[in-house]
């Protein structure tokens, strides 16, 4: 005879299974409903130039990048603020991480992330700061995130403040002697200067299928209005666009992660193109723990297009525990990029 306790356990198990399916259906429904919102124009920083590229996502956090840029379904460290704020609920104490990237030898990015356990269990706060550039073009992003968990579903949101300045550098005609005087004059007259500021909103969800498997979704820049102001430095012929408002385009990211024992983690992300001129990305990677303190990682980012823009990533790291209250991590990643290879270093403390 089946006991009352067993019957209650079966009912609870079926109820949880039903809730899981309902959550997944709702999750997919959210994704479908968000798709029309992605029809935002590509952002341009000034009228004279037609080169887009404001607040470019070059991949932040040495560990996520080492795993092929696939982190939305895992998001289990201080990088969750950027990759999926729902993952903040997995924070094991205070976490501080610092890294720097010299992107293609052209732009230097500084990245810092902090995770703070909040009041009560299954809640946490996160802060991330990204700065880049110089007087020619500089950008600053400050992310403030909150995540909470209810049973087997975690939800998170991140509010971002962004600012930028461009054309603050001084041009000299002596620097362009390879051009004709007329060409130099035209180029000097087309210099544009200006500033920008705005806000952004990221939304994230993590569904904890069990202790080993998670499914994640991230709506990056669900809303991201920017206010731009630009003017020609010194020209009576050319003009800049002046003051205008324009949104940064939204990006949807889907991810899954799975742990095999305590030593191996597998991850995969899917990033669909929401515009005809955007690329759909498929990302996958792994993380393997060796000898308790040594980590090895690898992954790839593949674009579904006819371009040679696929990347391969390899990384390693040290994860050292000092007593039980302090963990020190040092990570290194090498990115093989068709344009130019790059290296990334980061240092973090968990306490």
Q: What's the confidence (pLDDT) of residue 64?
A: 97
- Residue range 236-255: mean pLDDT, rounded: 83
Q: Is a pLDDT exceeding 70 seen at residue 235?
A: no
The more confidently predicted of residues 24 and 187 is 187
The more confidently predicted of residues 181 and 93 is 93
206-219 per-position pLDDT tens digit: 999 999 999 999 99
Q: Is a pLDDT exceeding 90 seen at residue 305?
A: no
Q: What's the confidence (pLDDT) of residue 308?
A: 85
**What are the CA-CA distances from residue 234 to residues 35, 115, 117, 170 (Å)?**
42, 46, 51, 12
Query: What are 344's strand-pairing partners?
Result: 333
The more confidently predicted of residues 61 and 17 is 61
When the pLDDT of each residue in the chain is averaged and rounded to a whole number, the result is: 82
The more confidently predicted of residues 201 and 92 is 201
Q: What's the confidence (pLDDT) of residue 135?
A: 77
Q: Which helix (H) or strand (E) holds 47?
A: none
- Residue range 9-36: mean pLDDT, rounded: 44
Q: Is a pLDDT exceeding 90 seen at residue 189?
A: no
- φ/ψ of 43, rounded to 5, equals -80, 135
- Residue range 52-62: mean pLDDT, rounded: 79
Using CA atoms in the order 82, 83, 88, 93, what is the torsion angle rounded to 10 degrees? -70
Q: What's the confidence (pLDDT) of residue 171?
A: 60
**Which of 82, 84, 86 is CA-nearest to residue 58?**
82
Q: Is a pLDDT exceeding 80 seen at residue 173?
A: no
Q: Is a pLDDT exceeding 80 seen at residue 184?
A: no
Domain chopping of the chain, boundaries: 4-350
Q: Is 144 exposed, middle or buried (0-12, 13-18, 19+ CB in 10 A)?
A: middle
Write out the DSSP string of 100-160: EEEETTTEEEEEEEEEEE-SSTTEEEEEEEEEEE-SSEEEEEEEEEEEEEETTEEEEEEEE
The topology (CATH level 3) of 4-350 is Porin (2.40.160)
114-172 per-position pLDDT tens digit: 999 877 778 999 999 999 988 778 999 999 999 999 999 999 999 999 999 987 776 66
Strand 251-260 to 107-117 pairing? unpaired
pLDDT band for 12, please (50, 70, 90 cuts): very low
Q: What's the confidence (pLDDT) of residue 53?
A: 54
Least trusted range by pLDDT, from 75-79, 230-234, 329-333 = 230-234
The more confidently predicted of residues 193 and 257 is 257
User: The dihedral of CA 323, 325, 330, 333: what is its sign?
Assistant: positive
- Residue range 236-265: mean pLDDT, rounded: 87
Q: What's the confidence (pLDDT) of residue 292?
A: 86
């Amino acid at each position: 005879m089946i006991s009352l306790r067993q019957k209650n356990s079966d009912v609870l198990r079926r109820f949880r299974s039903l809730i899981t399916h309902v959550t997944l259906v709702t999750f997919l429904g959210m994704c479908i409903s968000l798709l029309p919102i992605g029809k935002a124009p590509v952002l341009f920083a000034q009228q004279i130039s037609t080169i887009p590229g404001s607040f470019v996502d070059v991949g932040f956090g040495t560990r996520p990048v080492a795993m092929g840029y696939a982190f939305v379904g895992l998001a289990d460290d201080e990088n969750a603020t950027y990759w999926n704020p729902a993952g903040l609920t997995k924070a094991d104490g205070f976490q501080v991480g610092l890294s720097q990237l010299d992107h293609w030898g052209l732009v230097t990015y500084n990245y810092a992330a902090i995770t703070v356990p909040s009041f009560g269990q299954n809640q946490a706060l996160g802060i991330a700061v990204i700065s880049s550039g110089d007087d020619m073009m500089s950008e600053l992003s400050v992310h403030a995130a909150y995540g909470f968990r209810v049973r087997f579903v975690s939800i998170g949101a991140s509010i971002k403040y962004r600012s930028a300045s461009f054309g603050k550098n001084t041009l000299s005609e002596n620097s362009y002697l390879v051009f004709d005087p007329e060409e130099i004059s035209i180029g000097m007259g087309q210099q544009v200067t200006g500033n920008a500021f705005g806000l952004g909103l990221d939304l994230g969800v993590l569904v904890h299928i069990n202790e080993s498997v998670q499914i994640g979704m991230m709506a990056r820049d669900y809303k991201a209005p920017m206010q731009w102001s630009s003017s020609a430095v010194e020209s009576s012929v050319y003009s800049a666009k002046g003051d205008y408002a324009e949104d940064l385009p939204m990006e949807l990211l889907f991810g899954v992660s799975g742990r095999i024992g305590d030593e191996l983690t597998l991850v995969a992300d899917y990033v669909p193109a929401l515009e005809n001129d955007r690329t759909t990305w498929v990302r996958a990677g792994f993380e393997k723990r060796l000898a308790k303190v040594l980590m090895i990682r690898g992954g790839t980012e593949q674009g579904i297009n006819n371009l040679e823009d696929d990347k391969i990533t390899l990384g390693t790291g040290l994860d050292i525990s000092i007593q039980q209250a302090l963990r020190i991590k040092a990570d290194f990643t090498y990115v093989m990029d068709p344009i130019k290879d790059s290296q990334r270093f980061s240092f973090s403390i968990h306490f």
